[in-house]
């Protein structure tokens, strides 16, 4: 028999030896998940003894975490902007930057009935959060991956979000209609970075990350095409790579967007272009 505290300490050490960052936090999440409680509730039962039936499945999760399977995949869900989303290898694990993007969009868009498109929706975190926060609007979520769309559908059902449509589409190929807002967190990582990425990132779908030699392939295609799917005065709101702001600005200018503002993320990186098309 081991106590909760001993289990946490032992597990954290195990993970640390295997190169897992924030090993204790990871271990606490795994144990809380196993026991069906919150991380904070673990702190109130440090002395509680754990029997073998409680520990055995935990060992399996620990082994996988030690091998680099992401925590979010083992837990099966991930918090995003105050809601829990199902998370597995069909979609990108949401990044904190994308929560910032959602915040900025919610602050900027007018209230009322809007037609919104989430291009490259992945697990659906961006578009479904907008749909849940703006129930009077309609959100179309599009992705080239049928796996990702299935995950989005499951997340929509989990959240009880109904003001949406899902479209299987390679960028705009199967999209019809015009939108007030097109939001997109498209793949923007240069293909060459695959070899040096953290183990955990190898479990994200490659299709959701990489976009040609400089990471710009899809953005370069998306931006000029988006013009045909915006209502007059419509806005695109994007997340882009840390060194892509000037290239993206140039592309937006060439496509007739004005004004163009590129907001910084919490690290000070020009990350979120918001551009209007009149
Ligand atoms: N921010 C992600 C990363 O660097 C990339 C997300 C994306 O390509 N849209 O891992």
Probe residue for ligand 1, chosen from 70, 93, 95 as the CB with the greatest number of ligand atoms within 8 Å: 95
**Residue where a domain terminates, one of 45, 67, 89:** 67
% pLDDT > 70, the chain: 100
**Sequence-ordered list of residues with C-beta below 8 angstroms from that of 41, at least 6 positions apart, any chain:** 32
- Count up the domains in the chain and report the number: 2
Two structure tokens written together for 46: 């440090």
Domain match, 116 and 204 both: yes
CB 91 less than 6 A from any atom of ligand 1: no
Domain match, 142 and 233 both: yes
Domain match, 252 and 121 both: yes
Q: Is residue 179 part of a domain?
A: yes
Domain match, 22 and 98 both: no
CB 188 less than 6 A from any atom of ligand 1: yes
The predicted-structure confidence for 62-75, as pLDDT tens digits, reads as follows 999 999 999 999 99
Would you say residue 265 has pLDDT above 90? yes
User: What is the span of the domain harbouring residue 187?
Assistant: 77-277
Would you say residue 146 has pLDDT above 90? yes
User: Which residue, judged by its Cα, is nearest atom 7 of ligand 1?
Assistant: 187
Q: What is the mean pLDDT of residues 107-125?
A: 95
Would you say residue 267 has pLDDT above 90? yes
Q: Is residue 72 part of a domain?
A: no
Q: What is the mean pLDDT of residues 83-108?
A: 97
Q: Which residues of 228-250 are buried (b: 16+ CB within 10 A; e: fewer)?
A: ebbeeebbbbbbbbeebbebbbe
Domain match, 46 and 102 both: no
Burial of 165 (0-12, 13-18, 19+ CB in 10 A): exposed
Q: What is the mean pLDDT of residues 158-186?
A: 98
């Amino acid at each position: 028999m081991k106590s909760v505290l001993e289990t946490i300490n032992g597990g954290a050490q195990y993970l640390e030896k295997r190169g897992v960052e924030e090993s204790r936090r990871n271990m606490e999440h795994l144990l809380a998940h196993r026991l069906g409680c919150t991380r904070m509730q673990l702190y109130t039962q440090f002395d509680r003894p754990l029997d073998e039936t409680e520990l055995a499945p935990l060992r399996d999760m620990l082994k996988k975490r030690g091998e680099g399977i992401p925590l979010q995949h083992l837990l099966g869900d991930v918090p995003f902007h105050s809601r829990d989303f199902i998370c597995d290898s069909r979609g990108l694990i949401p990044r904190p930057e994308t929560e910032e993007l959602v915040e900025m969009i919610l602050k900027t868009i007018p209230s009322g009935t809007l037609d919104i498109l989430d291009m490259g929706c992945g697990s659906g975190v961006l578009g479904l959060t907008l749909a849940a926060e703006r129930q009077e609007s309609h959100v179309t979520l599009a992705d080239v991956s049928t796996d990702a769309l299935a995950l989005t559908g499951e997340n929509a059902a989990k959240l009880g979000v109904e003001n949406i449509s899902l479209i299987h589409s390679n960028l705009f190929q199967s999209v019809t209609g015009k939108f007030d807002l097109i939001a997109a967190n498209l793949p923007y990582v240069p293909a060459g970075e695959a070899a040096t990425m953290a183990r955990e990132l190898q479990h994200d779908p490659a299709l959701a990350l990489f976009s040609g030699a400089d990471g710009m392939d899809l953005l370069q295609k998306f931006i000029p095409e988006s013009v045909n799917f915006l209502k007059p005065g419509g806005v695109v709101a994007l997340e882009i790579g840390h060194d892509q702001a000037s290239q993206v600005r140039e592309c937006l200018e060439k496509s007739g967007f004005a004004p163009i503002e590129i907001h910084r993320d919490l690290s000070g990186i020009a990350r979120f272009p918001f551009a209007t098309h009149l």
